[in-house]
A and B are shown apart, each in its own frame.
Chain A
Amino acid sequence: MLRMIVNRLLTALLSLAILITIVFFMTHATPGGPAYSILGQKATPAAVHELNVRLGLAAPLWKQYVIWWWHLLQGRLGYSYLLNRPVTQLVGDYMMNTLALYIGAILLALILSIGLGLLQGVTYERWPARVIGALQLSLYALPTFFVGTMFILYFGVKWGVLPTGGITNLRLENPGLPDYARHLILPVLTVGLLGVAGLSRYFGTSVHEELGKDYVRTALAKGLTFRAVLFKHVLRNALRPLVTILGLSFPGIFAGSVLVETVFNYPGLGYLLWRSALSQDYPVISAIVLLIGALTVIGNLLADLVNGLLDPRERFE
C-alpha cells in the first residue's frame, strides 16, 4: 500500500513539473504582454518599457523560466501584475468561492444521481429507465451557459426571487451567511444539474451491473427483501466507481464552472482565470493552472486511495 502511494506521488510530481513548463511557455510565448492592461491605453512607451523591466518581462525567455522555478520553490507564486497583490492572497480569496460552489454542486449532483441512478438501474430496459436515459442525454447536450442564463432570466429577472449574480448583496454593510447562500443557489443548481447527466448514468450502469451479480441472487434466495439487498449491498458496491469518476471529473467540473462563473459574475477561480487570460496577467494564470493541475492530481490520488480502502483487491496492484 505504501509503495503504491509513493509510486503514485512520484508520477504525480513528474506530471506537475511537465505541466508547469507547458503553462509557462504557453503564457509567455505570445505577443502583447500585460503592460497596456495595467497602464491603460494612454501609457507612454517609456512607461511600458519600465513596467516590463520592473515585472521582469524584459529578460530573455529562458532566464524568466529559471526565475519562475526559483520563485516557485520558495513558495512564491508571484505578484499579480494587474491587481497588484501577491497571487497567493488573490487566489485564496477566489478559491474559497469556487470550493463552495463545487461542494454544493457535487452534493446536489450526488443526491440526484444516486436517486436517478438507482431508479434507472433497477428499472433497466423499462420505461422509467428510458425516460431517465432521455433526460440524461438532454441534460448532457445542454450548454451550461445557456442553462445558466435561462436561470438568471427566470429566477432573477422575471420572478425576482434570487439574485442575478455576484456573491453578495452590495447594499448590505455586513452580509452574512444567508446572503451568501442565496447567491450560491443558482450557480450550484446550474453546475450540479449538468453534472447529474454524467454521474447518474455511471451510477445507473453500476447499479445495473451489480444487480446482475451472483451475490444478489444469493441474498434474495436467502430471503432478504429486495429493498434490503438494494440498500445494504448493491448501493455500497455501486458507489465505488463513482468515487473514481468524481476524482476524474474534477477538471471537467472546473471547465464547466469557468462558463458558469462568467455567466453569473461569480468571483471564483474560473472567473479570475478568464479575466487574467484576457489581460495576460501571467502570474495569476500560471498559479491557477498549477492549482487546478495539482488539485486534479491530488484528486486522482485520493480516489485511488479511497478505492484501495474500499476494495482490498486494489491495494496490491
Chain B
Amino acid sequence: MSNSLATAITAPGGALRRSAAERAAMWLGDRGTLVTGLVLAVLILGFSLLGPYLYTASPYAIHGHHALQGPSATFPLGTDQIGRNELARLIAGGYATLIVSIPAAILTFGLGIVYGLAAALSPSWIDKVLMRVLDAILALPGLVVLIFFSALFQPGNFELILLLGLTSWPGLARIVRNEAIAQRNRDFILATRQFGGGTWYVARVHILRVMAPILVVNATFLVGDMVLALSGLSFLGLGVQPPYTSWGGLLQTGLNLIALDPWWMILPAGLMIFLSIMAANLIGQGLLARFGAAR
C-alpha cells in the first residue's frame, strides 16, 4: 500500500514510522472494504433469495382494513395503501430485482468480453469499424434507450434482462478491447503465437487470464449499475410488471404517497437499493485495491 504522501515527501530517507494503532487501522482498512462488501452482499442475497422460505406471509394478499398502517406485530414493516404486507413485498421485491439484475450483469459481461476481444484481435480495419459502431452506441445514454424500449414494449422479466444487458455492454467492451490491445503485444503473448497458438486460444487462455482482475472488478460494479438502472426504470413505471414488484417499484409507490409520510414504504426499499449498490461497489473497490497492489 502506498504511504501517506505528505509524510513520504518530507521524511528524509523515506522510512516510514507508524504507531501500532495506525498499523492496525491500515490492516482493517486494507481488507475492511472487501469484507464489508462481502458481508453486505451475503446478507442481501440471503434476505431476497431465502427470505420467501423463512417469512411466509404473502406479498399479494390484500387486507383492506389494515391499509396504510405503520409497523406492528402482524406487519413488521407496515402495510401499503391496500393493506399488503410491506415486509413480504420487500422480500419479493428483492427477489425480482436480483433475479433481473444479476443475469443482466452476466449478459453484459459476456457480450462485452466477446465484442471487446473480437475487436482487439481482429485485423485493424474490422477493429476500426467495430469501434465506430461502439462509439455510436455509447453516445446514447443507456437510460434513454431503456426508456424507449420499455415504453414501447412493456417487457417481462426475460425481456428486461435482455434490455439491460444489451444497453450496458458497450462500456465494458471498450475497456476489454483497450486492455486486450495493450496485452496482445506483450512478450509472452508473442511467444505463444510463435509456438503456434491460434488467436482464440490465445484470447481465451492467456489474455483473459491476465485481464481477469480488471474483469472481476468491473463485473461487481456492473451488478450495482444494473440494480440502479432497474430501479430507475421501475420508478418511471417501465420496469417490473405487476403483480410482481421490484425495489424501484416499491419506492415509486412510496414516493407517490409522500404527502402521507409513509416512511415504512420508502425507507426500507430505498435502503435496500442503496445497500445493494454499496455492497457491489465495496467489493469492487476492495478487489481493486488488492489487485492494484499485486500489479
Contact = CB atoms under 8 A, between A and B. Distances in A.
Interface of B: 1-6, 9-10, 26, 29, 132-133, 135-145, 147-149, 151-153, 224, 228, 231-232, 235-236, 248, 251, 255, 258-259, 270, 273-275, 277-278, 281-282, 285
A292 B139 CA distance: 7
A298 to B, nearest CB: 10
Contact of A277 (B148, B274, B281): B148
B148 A211 contact: no
B235 to A, nearest CB: 5
Of A122, A149, A153, A273, the most chain B CB neighbours within 10 A belong to: A149
A217 B9 contact: yes
Interface in A200-258: 208, 211-212, 216-217, 220, 226, 251-252, 254-255, 258
Given A254-B141, A258-B143, A277 B151 contact: yes
Contact of A143 (B4, B29, B232): B232
A19 B4 contact: no
Interface in A103-155: 122-126, 130, 137-138, 140-146, 149, 152-153
Contacts of B5: 122, 124, 208, 211-212
Contact of B141 (A123, A140, A152, A252): A252
B284 to A, nearest CB: 10
Contacts of B259: 157
A211 B278 CA distance: 29
Contacts, number: 141
A35 B2 CA distance: 63
B153 A145 contact: no
Contacts of A212: 2, 5
Contacts of B133: 18
Nearest to A141: B277
A59 B119 CA distance: 38
Nearest to B270: A146
Given A19-B136, A140-B277, A259 B228 contact: no
Given A11-B135, A130-B29, A149 B1 contact: no
Given A143-B228, A262-B236, A125 B281 contact: no
B148 A142 contact: no
A308 interface: no
A105 to B, nearest CB: 15
B140 A293 contact: yes
A41 interface: no
A138 B1 CA distance: 24
A14 B130 CA distance: 12
B139 A296 contact: yes
Nearest to A216: B9
B9 to A, nearest CB: 6
Interface stretch (A24-32, A48-56, A173-181): A24-32
A155 to B, nearest CB: 13
Nearest to A144: B232
A240 B3 CA distance: 24
A251 B141 contact: yes
B9 A140 contact: no
Interface of A: 11, 14-19, 22-23, 26-27, 30, 32, 122-126, 130, 137-138, 140-146, 149, 152-153, 157, 208, 211-212, 216-217, 220, 226, 251-252, 254-255, 258-259, 262, 273-274, 277-278, 280, 285, 289, 292-293, 296-297
Question: Chain B binding site: helix, strand, loop or mixed by DSSP?
Answer: helix
Nearest to B149: A26
A18 B136 contact: yes
Given A19-B136, A153-B258, A251-B141, A126 B4 contact: yes
A252 B132 CA distance: 19
A30 B232 contact: no
A241 to B, nearest CB: 16
B152 A280 contact: yes
A19 B270 contact: no
A180 B138 CA distance: 33
A30 to B, nearest CB: 4
A11 B281 contact: no
B143 A259 contact: yes
A255 B139 contact: no
B282 A137 contact: yes
Nearest to B273: A143
A252 B255 CA distance: 24
B139 A251 contact: yes
A14 B135 CA distance: 9
A280 B147 CA distance: 11
A274 B237 CA distance: 11
A145 B135 CA distance: 28
B4 A255 contact: no
A14 B132 contact: yes
19 contacts: A14-B136, A15-B135, A15-B139, A16-B139, A19-B139, A22-B137, A27-B152, A123-B6, A125-B26, A137-B281, A140-B281, A144-B232, A146-B251, A157-B259, A251-B141, A251-B142, A254-B144, A258-B144, A274-B236
